[in-house]
Amino acid sequence: MKAYLGIDVGSISTKGVVIDSKNAILASEYLWTEGDPMGAVRRLLKALASQLEGKDVQVAAVGTTGSARKLTGAMTDAQVVKNEITAHAIGTTSLYPDVRTIFEIGGQDSKIILVENGIVVDYAMNTLCAAGTGSFLSSQARRLGVQVEEFGEIALTSQHPTPIAARCTVFAESDLVHKAQIGHKKEDIIAGLCKAVVTNYLNNVGKGKKIAPPIVFQGGVSKNVGVKKAFEDATGFPVTVDPNGHLTGALGVAILARKSGKEQPFSFGVADMDFVTRGVECGKCSNRCEIICVYQNGRLIDSWGNRCENGAIRAAK
């Protein structure tokens, strides 16, 4: 049976799916990137291969997305390397064909995608600031001595969420410390934080956008029921969180790989190959670009990071 592999390597987590020609998921895996995207991809491929063991499956095309999509694409010789916004939109509309609004909050970025008749019509992404994203929530959880996974459940127990300044991460943090010191309850502060994330999101990436139901909420932060509820309170619409929501990016790019028409048998044996990256500073002009070279078993397979042709390093094909 022909199958298609989609890999989504984000800043925090790495996701992978294998689908058949009808977009049904044959295997899927979710693990932490732990700052080592290549290691994570290797572990991901091993896990997917073991799930598929004994089945007659041949991966015909590979797609990669997420912030490490280029690196992963080089490792797996992917047919499609696509940005995460398009990948998420394709993945979500395949699961929810009538979706109108997609909220997405990940580890380092947040975005909103507006869909009409299954076609993306507009999107926005946070600019230079990562306030209100997953990294912010997990650092605040650590400060409060709570596991970030429990955050949502604790938030739901609050009767009176504490108002927290949502504008800026730095100020939110000092506001939070202040509120704790003057005696606000922990669950109220946590609920306030969830609300702050939503207010921040709607006022920044969601600013000026027409939010219409059905709404799907995804990305790592969607696992937090406190944030989901805050979204429902703020918009007045029900918000759907798919149990496979974390996989939509990988699913979307697998679908794109299937639709690309480009096929080339892929072997999970890539996981056993030796991959090394090396950063070289190009000294040919005063831009001093940091060029990343990717080696497979000692052989240069790809490079990027040069701003001009002087720094181009040709891979031996």
Partner 1 sequence: MKIGIPRALLYYRYHTLWETFFEELGVETVISPPTNKGILDSGSIYAIDESCLPMKIFLGHVEWLIGRCDMILLPRIASLGRQGSACMRYQAAYDVARNAFRGRQIKLLDYNVDLRKNGGQIETFLSLGRAVGKKRAQSLHAYLAARQADKAVGTAELLHQQDLLRGDRCRILVVGHPYNVYDPYVGGPVLDCLRALNTVPIIADIVDRREALERSANISSTLPWAFNRQLVGAIDIYRRYVDGIVLMSTFPCGPDSLVNEIVVRRVRELPVLNLLIDGQEGSAGLETRLESFVDIIHFKREEDITLA
Residue 299 tokens read as: 């052989």
Region of residue 296 (left: phi > 0; alpha: psi -120 to 50; beta: else): beta
Cα(236)–Cα(191) distance, integer angstroms: 18
Provide, rounded to whole angstroms, the least separation between the CB of residue 149 and partner 1.
Answer: 28
Q: Nearer Cβ to partner 1, position 23 or 260?
A: 260
Buried b vs exposed e over 147-170: b needs ≥16 C-beta within 10 Å?
Answer: ebeebbebbeebeebbebbbbebe
Q: Is position 260 an interface residue for partner 1 (rule: CB under 8 A)? A: yes
Task: Please give the helix or strand (H or E) that residue 257 lies within, else none.
Answer: helix 248-259
Is 284 a binding residue for partner 1 by CB under 8 A? The answer is no
Q: What minimum distance in Å lies between the beta carbon of 268 and partner 1?
A: 24
Nearest distance from C-beta of residue 263 to partner 1, angstroms: 13
- Minimum CB separation of residue 64 from partner 1 in Å reads 13
Quick one: which segment of 117-125, 142-150, 173-181, 268-276 binds partner 1 (CB under 8 A)?
117-125
Using CB under 8 A as the binding rule, the residues of this chain from 196 to 215 that contact partner 1 are 208
Tell whether residue 117 is a contact of partner 1 (CB under 8 A).
no
Using CA atoms, how far residue 259 sits from 61, 121, 263, in Å, is 9, 21, 10
Is 156 an interacting residue with respect to partner 1 (CB under 8 A)? no
* Cβ at position 253, least distance to partner 1 in Å: 10
d(Cα 25, Cα 244) in Å, to the nearest integer?
Answer: 10
Establish if 82 lies at the interface with partner 1 (CB under 8 A).
yes
Q: Does 121 bind partner 1 (CB under 8 A)?
A: yes
Classify residue 161 by its DSSP letter.
Answer: P
Cα(137)–Cα(226) distance, integer angstroms: 12
- Residues 224-253 touching partner 1, rule: CB under 8 A, are none
Query: Taking CB under 8 A as the rule, does residue 296 contact partner 1?
Result: no
CB 108 within 8 A of CB 11: yes
Rounded distance between C-alpha atoms, residue 65 and residue 139, angstroms: 26
- Total residues at the site for partner 1 (CB under 8 A)? 27
86 binds partner 1 (CB under 8 A): yes
Which residues are at the interface with partner 1 (CB under 8 A)?
67, 70, 80, 82-86, 119-125, 127-128, 208, 256, 259-260, 285-288, 290, 307
